[in-house]
Amino acid sequence: MTLDPEGDPDNDFTPIVLVNRGGCSFVRKTRNIQDIGGKLVLIADSRANADPSSVIMVDDGTGSNIAIPTIMITKEEGESLRDAIIKTEAENNKPGAKKDYVVLDVQFEIV
């Protein structure tokens, strides 16, 4: 996977990467995304109607060099974001289309 800054709407390339939960540790997912230039990881839970605050995203012992935040979101929030991205990309690919973007305002607190 690569991240492409072309067309970044505010010319401040800060890629937010949406991934599904599962397949490997949270640390490994985050490191892989950090290594390709991601600035924030959103992990969509794999369980429907689950409370992501009940998930403890622990360090597997190899996360000391992780410098970007990772946020767990619900499966439904992930699907909604993914649908918006797919719809926007489809619209942008139409001939003569004015380029549009999915804008995500993320606010979080480290406690």
Indicate if the pLDDT at residue 46 is higher than 80.
yes
Residue entry with tokens 């001939």: 95
Indicate if the pLDDT at residue 111 is higher than 70.
no
84 located within any domain? yes
The CATH number that applies at residue 86 is 3.50.30.30
Residue entry with tokens 């490997």: 24
Number of domains in the chain: 1
Which residues constitute the domain of residue 20?
A: 16-92
pLDDT tens, residue by residue, 50-89: 988 888 888 888 889 999 999 999 999 999 999 998 898 8
Q: What pairs with residue 44 in β-bridges?
A: 20, 73
Q: Which of 37, 25, 26 is nearest to 1 (CA)?
A: 37
pLDDT tens, residue by residue, 1-26: 556 666 666 666 678 899 999 999 99
